[in-house]
Chain A
Amino acid sequence: MSQKIREHVQKLLAEKKIKGFLGLREENGHIFPHLFCDPEELKHLSSGDKRKPGDARYPLNQILIRLAIEYPQETFAVLIRGCDERGLSELFKWKQLLKERVIPIGIGCPDELAKACECEKPFPDCLVDGPKGEKTDSQKVAHINQMAIEDRLRLWKKEFDRCIKCLGCRNVCPMCFCKQCTLEEANLIDTGEIPPANPSFHLVRAIHMAGRCIDCGLCEEACPAGIPLRTLYKKVADIVSEEFGYKTGFSEDEKSPFNIIEVK
């Protein structure tokens, strides 16, 4: 982890501008989320790279929501990549977090990670350290787009057939904050079936990701069945962009077409 980030956080803690810094900690060869409240602990800080860049990322914004619920008066800093910043922007709009209670500490993603993610903007505006990488167009979505519609359905049904309904895609998602989830609504999705209703189970989730998914890719990384969920949600994001002219998470001021709350 860069000295720049460490010093930045140290200063915020010393000036008591934050209660803690939600980041990643590396100890005994493992990387895991941690709330750094003591500057001494910062020697264990990690940017989430184990074997390759960004392979040990976690849904920090999801944990941040839990902290904010428990401590609504406190301000926290949080480790942010380009995707996480898009997430914050939507979470502010959806009133899950208060902008004035969050200090984002941005790192830019190295080229290798940005390319692997086919990321549209692999760095946050609140960049403290790391590169300002370039946009990568999605080859995976381009591949789907050139397929005939019936072939696409066949492909996805084959992919969804491997689903073991672990709900990991939803559980790990930093944008899934609903208290009740359609995926667990027995009237809509039959229980006790593996794979779950194909393709409705995954398409229900895909539709719910419209205007929510910020393309962090944690769902695909969490999938034990190797379903290319990221490609599916990237395609959903493309449709949202084409139909509504809305790019999820790219602007804090623009009203979301999926949200009735007006942005100030």
Chain B
Amino acid sequence: MEFRTVLTTCPYCGCGCGLLLEVLDGKLIGTLPSKTSPVNEGKLCVKGWTVHEFVISPNRLTKPLVRQAETFDESSWDRALDLAATRLKEIKGKYGPDSIAVLTSAKCTNEENYLLQKFTRAAIGTNNIDHCARL
């Protein structure tokens, strides 16, 4: 028997509220706001309160999907990443780097956002990098 709470950061928006995932025998059973997080001091919004629900949702995507004409086909990561790299190279070669824009997310960590702007500027060669919070 094991019950513990795992301290983590809410993945929904850029606030970064501290929350506790309640874990009973390895199963996720609930969410509580962290009282000791300096960000949210024991409070959460309706989305934060229900974080555990999407983790265990049967609708959750667990594999990459590649868009075909009308459908999304399940794919391996290797195949999906190869396809993305090939198409980005093709587009950049044909129309130039400024034909590509990258939109990143508040759900990422600072480090992931840094990596993505570095990739956009250094690998693709454009300043077209923005963030979902300005959508």
Across the interface, do A58 and B43 meet the contact criterion of CB distance under 8 Å?
no
Q: Give chain A residues whose Cβ lies under 8 Å from the Cβ of B89.
A: none
- Which of B25-33, B91-99, B121-129 has 4 or more CB atoms under 8 Å from chain A? B25-33
Q: Chain B's nearest CB lies how many Å from the CB of A145?
A: 29
Across the interface, do A30 and B36 meet the contact criterion of CB distance under 8 Å?
yes
| Complex Cα–Cα for A88 and B17 (A) | 30
Residue A166 is within 8 A (CB to CB) of chain B in the complex:
yes
Residue B54 is within 8 A (CB to CB) of chain A in the complex:
no
Residue A177 is within 8 A (CB to CB) of chain B in the complex:
no
Binary interface profile of A, 216-227, with partner B (CB < 8 Å = 1, else 0)?
Answer: 000001111000
Across the interface, do B4 and A35 meet the contact criterion of CB distance under 8 Å?
yes
| Complex Cα–Cα for A29 and B7 (A) | 11
CB < 8 Å: which of A20, A31, A222 contacts B43? Answer: A222
CB < 8 Å: which of B2, B37, B42, B49 contacts A171? Answer: B49
Binary interface profile of B, 72-93, with partner A (CB < 8 Å = 1, else 0)?
Answer: 0000000000000000000000
Residue B109 is within 8 A (CB to CB) of chain A in the complex:
no
Across the interface, do A222 and B33 meet the contact criterion of CB distance under 8 Å?
yes
Query: Contacts A70-B25, A166-B46 given: A29-B1 contact, CB under 8 Å?
Result: no
Q: Give chain A residues whose Cβ lies under 8 Å from the Cβ of B29.
A: 66
Across the interface, do A66 and B1 meet the contact criterion of CB distance under 8 Å?
no
Binary interface profile of B, 1-27, with partner A (CB < 8 Å = 1, else 0)?
Answer: 111110100000000001010101100
Query: Contacts A50-B35, A58-B32, A58-B35 given: A32-B42 contact, CB under 8 Å?
Result: no
Query: Contacts A63-B3, A172-B32 given: A224-B49 contact, CB under 8 Å?
Result: no
CB < 8 Å: which of A32, A35, A57, A171 contacts B20? Answer: A32
Across the interface, do B5 and A165 meet the contact criterion of CB distance under 8 Å?
no
A interface vs B, CB < 8 Å? 19-20, 22, 29-35, 37, 48, 50, 55-59, 63, 66-67, 70-71, 74, 164-168, 171-172, 221-224
Cross-chain pairs A/B with CB under 8 angstroms, 14 sampled: A30-B36, A50-B35, A58-B32, A63-B22, A67-B24, A166-B44, A166-B45, A166-B49, A167-B49, A168-B49, A222-B42, A223-B43, A224-B43, A224-B44
B interface vs A, CB < 8 Å? 1-5, 7, 18, 20, 22, 24-25, 29-30, 32-37, 40, 42-46, 48-49
- Known contacts A22-B3, A34-B3; 20 further A-B pairs (Cβ under 8 A): A19-B1, A20-B1, A20-B3, A31-B35, A32-B7, A32-B36, A33-B22, A37-B2, A50-B36, A56-B35, A58-B32, A66-B30, A164-B46, A166-B45, A168-B44, A168-B49, A172-B32, A221-B43, A222-B33, A224-B44
Q: Would you list the 6 A-B pairs with minimal beta carbon distance, nearest first?
A: A35-B3, A56-B35, A224-B43, A30-B36, A166-B46, A32-B5
